[in-house]
Structure 1
Amino acid sequence: MTNWIIQNINYQNEFGEVRIGHSLNEEEEEFVARRRNTVLQCLQKFKIRCSQDEVPNIALLGSGGGQRAMVGLLGSLVQLDKAGLLDCVLYLSGVSGSTWCMASLYQEPDWSTKLETVKNKIIKRISGPGVSWTDTLAKLKKYYYGKDIFSLTDVWAVMLVTTYVKEIDECKLSDQWDQHSKDPFPIYTVIDKQCKQHPWFEISPHEAGYSLTGAFVGTSSFGSQFKNTTKKQDEMDMLYLQALCSSVLADEEEIWKWIKGTTIETLCSCLFNVSPSKDPHSPPTDECYQVLLNLVDMNLAVLKGTDPSALDQSIRTTLTDLSGGQSQLICQLEKLNDDKTAGKKAAKQYMMQYTVDVCNYFSSERKLNSWPFGSICRCIAQWIWGRHYNFLHNMRDEAVPAALLESETRDYIDAGLLLNSPYFSVLRKERDIDLIISLDFSESDYFTTVTQTAETCKKLKIPFPEVNITSEDVKKPKAFYVFKGTNTPTVIHIPLFNVSNCGDKIDAWRKKYGTTQVPYSAEMIAELLQVSGKNFTINRAKLLEQIRVVAEAKYFQAQERQI
C-alpha cells in the first residue's frame, strides 16, 4: 500500500520546484474550496441536505475511444447540463479521446455556463474542413526545431490529432486556468511507459506528476531538466497534450499502417517539395518513397509473422543502385533468416535494427539531415513516443521508487494501453472522492475499465467497491450500473451503447463508430451526440437519487460527529 505522506519535500531550481508528497497543490485546494460553493447551490436546488463543510466530492470520468469518446463525452456533458446536474461535478478527468473534448471545452472561459453555445462551436469546427497542408508542415517544423527531444508524439499531434480536432491549438494549459472560475477542475491522464509500479501520471493546470507515487512538478516546467540544467523547455501546447494523451489509438500494426498511409508521404514532401536538398547525390523522389514504403511493409510483415525477404531484397537492390554499387548498409536481417527458431520478440528486435540502418543510410550517407527526416525515421525505428526529460533524475528520496530516479528521460503514452479510464487520477486519498461517474466509450468490452480498477485497487489497498459483472451484462449492457462498498466511493458506470439507447443493435452501433476510422461526418456526429446524451435523459432520476444518497450520508455522518 502506498504510504500517504502529509508533508511535502520540495526541490528547488531556477526553473521551478519538484514536490515530493501526497497533499494537493495549494492552487487546486483553493479552487476546490470555491467550486464546492457551486456544488452546494446546485444540490440545494434539488432540496438535497448538505452543509457547506460536507459537500460531496463528485468526479466525472471520460474513457478513451478516439473521436467516439470526444463526441460521446460532449453529448453526455450537454445532457447532464440540461438535467441541471453539471454543477455537481467537482473534477473532470479524461483519457485519450475524451481529452480531445476537454481541450476543446477549456478553450472557452467558463464553458459550463454556456455549454450549448460552446457545443455548437465545437461541432461546427470538427464537422468542417481540416488543417491545411501548409499549416500542418509548418507546425511539424516548429515542433522539430523548438524541442530538445523530438518524438513520434510530435508527428502524431500534427498528422493524426489535427485530422479529428480540425485545428492547431497552441494555447498552454497553465495559461488557461485564470479563465475557468466556474468549471470542473480538469485532469488529463497518461502513463509512464517504463514504470511498472505506479505508472499513472496526471497533468492538471497546476501540476504534472505521478498520482499514486506523490511526485509532482509545475505543469509549465514539465519536460525541463532539474539536474545539470541546460535550459528550460517551453511548456507543451494543447495540441501536443492531446497527442500525448492519445498517442496510441490502436495496436502497433495499425500504427504502422497509419505511418504508411500518412507519414511517409509527409516525409517525402518535406524532403522534395518543401525543403529539397541541394545535394546533387540525393536519391530521386520515387526511389526514396518506395524504399520507405517497403520498410514499413517489412515491419508489418514481421508483426504478422510473414516472410519479409522479398522486401528486404528490393530495399538492398535500390540502395545499392543509388550508391553506384558501393552501399555499405549493415543490416541484421540475415540473423533472422538464419535463426529459424527466432520468436516474434527477436524478429521485432532485428527489424528495429534494420529500420535504424536504412534510416541512417538516408540521413547520413545521402545527406538528408536538413529536415526532420532522420529524426522521424529513428523515432519510428526505436518506437520513441512522448519522451521528456525526467524531473526526478538523480534525486534521492526514499518516497520515490528508485526506477523513477535513475533515467534521464521518461516516455509518456496513452493511458488506454494500461487502463482505458482515468480512475487513479481521482482515487488519490487527498481528493476524497465520494461519487465517481464513469462514462465508458471503449471499443468493445465496456466493463474492463471498472473490473480492472477494482482488481488493482484491491492489490494496492485503495478503497474501491466490489464489482461483479455477469456474462449477460457483457453481451447486453444496461445503461446504468451502481457499485457500492463500505468506506469506498460510490461508482456509477455508464456504457456508451446499451440496450436502453440502442435496443438490440448494440453491435451495429459499435461497428459504425470505430476507433480508427476516418473522422465522422456531420450526420454521424449529430447522431452520436444524441445517443450519448440519451444515457442521461433516461437515467436522470437514478443519477439524482445516487447523488442524494451520497450527499445526505455525508451530511448525517457530520451531524453524528458533532453530537
Structure 2
Amino acid sequence: MSIIDPYQHIVVEHQYSHVFTVTVRKATNVTKGAIGDMLDTPDPYVELFIPTAPDCRKRTKHFNNDINPVWNETFEFILDPNLENVLEVTLMDANYVMDETLGTSTFPISSLKLGEKKEVQLTFNDVTEMTLELSLEVCSSTDLRFSMALCDEEKRFRQQRRDNIMHSIKSFLGESSQNLTTSRDVPVIAVLGSGGGFRAMVGFAGVMKALYESGVLDCATYIAGLSGSTWYMSTLYSHPDFPAKGPKEINEELMHSVSHSPLLLLTPQKVKRYIDALWNKKSSGQPVTFTDIFGMLIGETLIHDRMDTTLSNMKEKVNNAQCALPLFTCLHVKPDVSELMFADWVEFSPYEIGMAKYGTFMSPDLFGSKFFMGTVVKKYAENPLHFLMGVWGSAFSILFNRVLGVSNSQNEGPTMEEELENIRLKHLVSNDSSDSEDESQHPKGSEGADAKRESRERLQESSQESWVQRMLMALVGDSALFNTREGRAGKVHNFMLGLNLNSCYPLSPLAELLTQESLEEDEPAAVADPDEFERIYEPLDVKSKKIHIVDSGLTFNLPYPLILRPQRGVDLIISFDFSARPSDSSPPFK
C-alpha cells in the first residue's frame, strides 16, 4: 500500500498485477477434416481469449492455404493474480462469409510459476499440433501515480515560478516590497474563472487582458477555470506566440474567430472531417458520445488552425515558469445519479490528469487509454485539446434536452456507440477493437479475413453516410439518443479499473467529525434535505470499464476544489464569476 496522506479520504490499495506473455510459434497438420480438406485448404489463424483480462481477446494474422503455418507472434495480457485465469486457444479458419472454428484448447495459467518460461504443445482434433511459449512475470511498474502530493514537475515549476514572481512583485509594488527579501516570502496567488459558456469566455478574455497589462498576471502561480473560462485558457495557452504575444493581440484573433457564422462549421468538408474522426475513434476501440461532436465544433470555432494540439503541448509554455500554470477541471459522474449527489472532481494540467479524491494521477497522454490495476493495457494517441474543451464545457450537451424542450420522461434508448454498432452489424463492417462494456461476449471469428476487406472498404463510406443521417435525425427529431446522459456526457476508459479502494481514513480532516445530532437544535439546516449529499463520499466503481465526465459547472461554477488542495498552499485567490445570476446584487454562492 502506498504511504497514506492524512488529507486522503479514500486510499487506493495498490496490488501488483501479472504480465502473461504468449508467443504463438507454429502449427502443423492443420486440418478441416477429411471432407473439408477435399473442398478447401485451411487459412489458419489463432485466437487467444482470457475472460478475466481487460483486453481479453487477441489474434494472430492468417495464412492463405497453409497447413503448417509459422506465426512467431507475441501477445501480452495484464492479469489480476487474485482471479482464476484460464487461457483459451482457438484455431480458426478464415473464410469469406463466416470464419470456422477448427478446435479449442485451454491452459490454466495458475499452473505457471512466476518467472517461469514454458513451451506448451496443444493438440487439436488428434492431428494438429500447436506450439506456444508462455511466461508469467510480476508487473512491478505502474502507469498511475498513487499520491496526494504534487508531481515533481509541478514542484519544480513552483520553485522556478516563485523566483520569477519575486521580481514581478517588486516591480509591481515598488517601494512597498522592501520586506520581500527571499523567495520564501512570495505568496502563492491563484486566478479563478467561472463557467458560463461564451459569456464566461468573453468575460475571462477581458479579465486576463487587464491582469496582464496591470502586471498582476505576472504575480500569479495558478490560473484555474471551468467550462467557458477553460475555452479561453485553452485558446490562450495553445497559441503558438503566447506568452510573447499577450492577451490583447490574441483576443483580437479570438474576436475574429467567433464572429463567423456557425453555419461555416457545417460545410460538407468539415462534416466529413468530423465523421472520419469519430469513426476512426470508434473503430480503434474508444467510446464516442455527443461531447466528441461538441468538442470538434468548439475547436473549429476557437482553435481551428491547431486542431491537432494537445494538453501536453502546453508544457512548453510553463516549463521555464514564464507564465502561470493552467488548471482545468471536469466531473466524473455516474450515469444514473444526479451530479449534485455524486461527483468526483477531475483536474487537468499540462503535467498530470487525475482525481485528488483517490490520489491517482497520470501523464496527460495516457488519459483515455485502457488501464487495468494501474497499468496501461492498450495505449491510444493523446486526446486532442478540442475533445477536452468539449468535456470541460459540456454543460450545453448535457442539458441538450432542455434546450430543445424535450421531456425527461424518455430515459432509455440507444447510445451513440450502439448506433455505430448497429450500423457496423447492418453493413458487416468489422471492428478490430471493441469498446463494449463486456468484451468477452464477442463471438469467435468476428475478425474477418483478407477476402472480406474489400467488401468492408466498399461499405465503409455508405456506413458513415447512414450514421450521419441517424445523427442529424437525432438532433432534429425526438430521439432518445440525446435525451440521456449516456448519449451526451463525455466518456473515456476507466483508468482506475481493477484497483482496490479503502474508504475514509479515520484521521483525515476531511472525514465527518460531527453528526447531525451534534448540531445545535436552533441552527438552521444548510440544505433542505440533510441526506441530499450523503453519496458524495461514495467511491468510484472500479469494475466499470468506462467513466462519464461532464462540465464541473453543473454542480459548482467555480474551480475552488483545485485551488483549495492543501498541497498547493494558495495564499490569495482572485476569483471572477461570470454566472448568470438574477441580478448583480444576488449572492454568488447561492
What is residue 324 of structure 2 aligned with on the other side?
A: 184
For the residues of structure 1 that align with 2:242 and 2:415, how far apart are their CA atoms?
50
What pairs with 1:101-500 in structure 2 (closer than 5 Å)? 101-108=232-239, 111-115=242-246, 116-128=248-260, 130-131=264-265, 133=267, 134-147=269-282, 148-159=286-297, 162-163=300-301, 169-180=307-318, 181=320, 182-194=322-334, 199-227=344-372, 230-249=377-396, 252=399, 254=401, 257=404, 300-303=405-408, 347-349=409-411, 352=413, 369-370=463-464, 372-373=467-468, 380=482, 382=484, 383-384=486-487, 385-398=489-502, 402-444=539-581, 473-474=585-586
Deviation at 1:254, TM superposition (A): 4.9
Whether the 8 Å CA contact 2:401–2:482 is kept in 1: the answer is: no
Alignment partner of 1:56 is 2:200: no
RMSD: 3.8
Over 3 Å counting, the alpha-carbon distance change for 1:90 and 1:109 in structure 2 is farther
Alignment partner of 1:41 is 2:167: yes
Residues 128-159 of structure 1: per-residue CA shift (max 9 Å, x gap):
46546213431332133134211111111224
For the residues of structure 1 that align with 2:495 and 2:141, how far apart are their CA atoms?
11
Deviation at 1:119, TM superposition (A): 2.8
Alignment partner of 1:22 is 2:145: no
For the residues of structure 2 that align with 1:442 and 1:423, how far apart are their CA atoms?
15
For the residues of structure 2 that align with 1:173 and 1:357, how far apart are their CA atoms?
29
Q: Which moved more, 1:362-371 or 1:221-230?
A: 362-371
For the residues of structure 1 that align with 2:371 and 2:242, how far apart are their CA atoms?
35
Over 3 Å counting, the alpha-carbon distance change for 1:150 and 1:189 in structure 2 is same
For the residues of structure 2 that align with 1:361 and 1:225, how far apart are their CA atoms?
23
Residues 149-207 of structure 1: per-residue CA shift (max 9 Å, x gap):
11111111224553466556220111231233311101110001128555111111111
For the residues of structure 1 that align with 2:419 and 2:377, how far apart are their CA atoms?
32
Identity %, equivalent residues: 25
Deviation at 1:356, TM superposition (A): 11
Whether the 8 Å CA contact 1:128–1:166 is kept in 2: the answer is: no
Deviation at 1:61, TM superposition (A): 0.8
Deviation at 1:27, TM superposition (A): 0.4
Deviation at 1:355, TM superposition (A): 11
Deviation at 1:124, TM superposition (A): 3.0
Return the letter of the residue paired with 2:256: K
What is residue 520 of structure 1 aligned with on the other side?
A: none
Return the letter of the residue paired with 1:189: T
For the residues of structure 2 that align with 1:171 and 1:430, how far apart are their CA atoms?
29
Deviation at 1:442, TM superposition (A): 0.8
Whether the 8 Å CA contact 1:136–1:159 is kept in 2: the answer is: no
Deviation at 1:445, TM superposition (A): 5.1
Over 3 Å counting, the alpha-carbon distance change for 1:110 and 1:27 in structure 2 is farther
| Higher gyration radius (CA) | 2
Over 3 Å counting, the alpha-carbon distance change for 1:85 and 1:142 in structure 2 is same
Return the letter of the residue paired with 2:571: D
Q: Secondary structure at the match of 1:403?
A: coil
Query: Unaligned 5+ residue runs, structure 1?
Result: 258-299, 304-346, 447-471, 478-492, 496-563
For the residues of structure 2 that align with 1:224 and 1:358, how far apart are their CA atoms?
22
Return the letter of the residue paired with 2:554: L
Deviation at 1:302, TM superposition (A): 3.0
Over 3 Å counting, the alpha-carbon distance change for 1:232 and 1:14 in structure 2 is farther
What is residue 207 of structure 2 aligned with on the other side?
A: 76
Give the TM-score normalised by structure 1: 0.57
Over 3 Å counting, the alpha-carbon distance change for 1:170 and 1:213 in structure 2 is same
Q: Which moved more, 1:28-37 or 1:134-143?
A: 134-143
Q: Per residue, is there more helix in 1 or in 2?
A: 1
For the residues of structure 2 that align with 1:200 and 1:375, how far apart are their CA atoms?
33
For the residues of structure 2 that align with 1:198 and 1:238, how far apart are their CA atoms?
23
Q: Secondary structure at the match of 1:24?
A: coil
For the residues of structure 2 that align with 1:189 and 1:103, how far apart are their CA atoms?
12
For the residues of structure 1 that align with 2:257 and 2:170, how far apart are their CA atoms?
37
Return the letter of the residue paired with 2:495: F
Would you say how many aligned residue pairs link Structure 1 and Structure 2?
367
Whether the 8 Å CA contact 2:353–2:362 is kept in 1: the answer is: yes
For the residues of structure 2 that align with 1:370 and 1:140, how far apart are their CA atoms?
7
Whether the 8 Å CA contact 1:8–1:19 is kept in 2: the answer is: no
Whether the 8 Å CA contact 1:198–1:210 is kept in 2: the answer is: no
Over 3 Å counting, the alpha-carbon distance change for 1:140 and 1:360 in structure 2 is closer
Residues 233-277 of structure 1: per-residue CA shift (max 9 Å, x gap):
2111111111010112376355663xxxxxxxxxxxxxxxxxxxx
For the residues of structure 1 that align with 2:226 and 2:342, how far apart are their CA atoms?
20
For the residues of structure 2 that align with 1:198 and 1:364, how far apart are their CA atoms?
35
Whether the 8 Å CA contact 2:312–2:351 is kept in 1: the answer is: yes
For the residues of structure 2 that align with 1:359 and 1:112, how far apart are their CA atoms?
42
Return the letter of the residue paired with 2:287: I
Whether the 8 Å CA contact 1:212–1:424 is kept in 2: the answer is: no
Whether the 8 Å CA contact 1:15–1:232 is kept in 2: the answer is: no
Whether the 8 Å CA contact 2:298–2:389 is kept in 1: the answer is: no
Residues 308-337 of structure 1: per-residue CA shift (max 9 Å, x gap):
xxxxxxxxxxxxxxxxxxxxxxxxxxxxxx
Return the letter of the residue paired with 1:242: M
Over 3 Å counting, the alpha-carbon distance change for 1:146 and 1:20 in structure 2 is same
Deviation at 1:223, TM superposition (A): 1.0
Over 3 Å counting, the alpha-carbon distance change for 1:396 and 1:101 in structure 2 is same
Whether the 8 Å CA contact 1:209–1:217 is kept in 2: the answer is: yes
Return the letter of the residue paired with 2:500: R
Alignment partner of 1:4 is 2:7: yes
Query: Unaligned 5+ residue runs, structure 2?
Result: 18-138, 429-461, 475-479, 505-537
Deviation at 1:125, TM superposition (A): 2.9
For the residues of structure 2 that align with 1:431 and 1:92, how far apart are their CA atoms?
13
Deviation at 1:4, TM superposition (A): 2.1
